[in-house]
Amino acid sequence: MKARYSVIVPMYNEEEVISHTYERLKEVMDRSGDAYELIFVNDGSRDRSADMIREIADQDGHVKLIDFSRNFGHQIAITAGMDYARGEAVVVIDADLQDPPEVILELIAKWKQGYEVVYAKRMKRHGETFFKKITAKLFYRLLSRLTSVDIPTDTGDFRLIDRKVCDVLRELKEKNRYVRGLVSWVGFRQTMVEYVREERFAGETKYPLKKMIRFALDGITSFSHKPLKIASYLGFLLSFSSFVFLFFVLMQKWFTSRTVPGWASIVGVNLLFNGIVLMILGVIGEYIGRIYDESKDRPLYIVREAVGCRNLKEEEAELFREEAGQPRKGVPHE
């Protein structure tokens, strides 16, 4: 039976919570009254997360598993789920139960009203530190200022997208993906549902500070070239300031008996400007690094095993070969 709803659940070392996640998702989706599939994407977990889902899939035909060969990242896991999802509507939700599965029914209700993207906006965030809350708030507002794309503030990847939106996203080829930004970029009719984010059910966060910084850089550099402009403006401002300072030093030497003694000021100015130059080179390097990643054109992910599902791109390629009179992949000519 074709699924009307596909629920994508990226997971990484979630054995403490994954069975509870499945039970709550099953209960919610059964209440929807339509056919559905639960697609768990194992992003290189080192615990029993994949084995647990494999066992559940043996008992429940709604459950699918995509098992990566290694850890490719949360955003890539979401992308893989979209490549395998068959539903008319696709929901993305994390496995840690901070995003209540019950909100999915509200997302579906909005979708049935004709909206093609329904994102969940966090009104409160329980169980998170003050530092995490304030940095997240500042990041979303900074991203809004830097980009020309209207990316909703205080939202994560928890959202519902229509089939046509999913198909468009599957065609986007970026390697350093920021899915929530891509969803905003493609457009379509969008609306929101407000909810309260719960404390993590079990385990620990999979986004420590280092990963959060990397994630923030992906978001900014994927949708804005303003940092390059800021670097240019800063370089111009410092060059002008250095010219003014040089003029001031010359005036002192020519028209007064006082000159700046010692080498401290020279060393200080050199250190300042060398630091600024290195900072600007670092910003440029971020963009060049992304160009390098794109030029390699490696696959976004490698699947070790797919349980109960098949990549839509592979099926589309086989259909194309059949229409062209070529044999299916792995099937010899008769």
The tokens for 179 are 């899915």
The pLDDT value given to residue 217 = 61
The count of C-alpha atoms lying within 13 angstroms of the C-alpha of 5, restricted to the half-sphere facing its C-beta, is: 26
pLDDT score, position 7: 92
Q: Which residue has the higher pLDDT, 232 or 179?
A: 179
Global model pTM greater than 0.75: no
pLDDT digits (tens, 9 = 90+) for 77-121: 988 888 888 889 999 998 888 888 898 999 999 999 989 989 888
At residue 314 the predicted structure's pLDDT band, cuts being 50, 70 and 90, is low
List pLDDT tens digits, range 259-282.
556 544 665 566 566 667 766 776
Give yes or no for residue 215 having a pLDDT over 60.
no
> Is residue 224 a contact partner of residue 146, using CB atoms and an 8 Å limit?
yes
Fold of 5-207+303-307: Spore Coat Polysaccharide Biosynthesis Protein SpsA; Chain A (3.90.550)
Percent of all residues in the chain with a pLDDT value above 70, rounded to a whole number: 59
At 186, is the pLDDT very low, low, confident or very high (cuts 50, 70, 90)? Answer: confident
Pick from 101-110, 299-308, 322-331: least confident: 322-331
Residue 188's identity, in one-letter code, is: F
pLDDT tops 70 at residue 199: no
Residue 263's pLDDT is: 46
Q: Is the pLDDT of residue 27 over 80?
A: yes
* pLDDT score recorded for residue 38: 93
Predicted pLDDT at 249: 61
Please determine, for residue 208, whether its predicted confidence score (pLDDT) is greater than 60: no
The residue among 28, 15, 20 whose CA lies nearest residue 7 is: 28
Work out the average pLDDT over 201-228: 58
pLDDT of residue 332: 42
| Confidence (pLDDT) at 225 | 58
Give the CA distances from residue 88 to residues 5, 157, 253, in Å, rounded to whole numbers and listed in that order: 6, 18, 77
334: confidence class by pLDDT, cuts 50, 70, 90 = very low
Question: Which of 30, 131, 39 lies closest to 82, judged by CA?
Answer: 39
Task: Identify the residue with better confidence: 173 or 190.
Answer: 190
pLDDT: which is higher, 213 or 160: 160
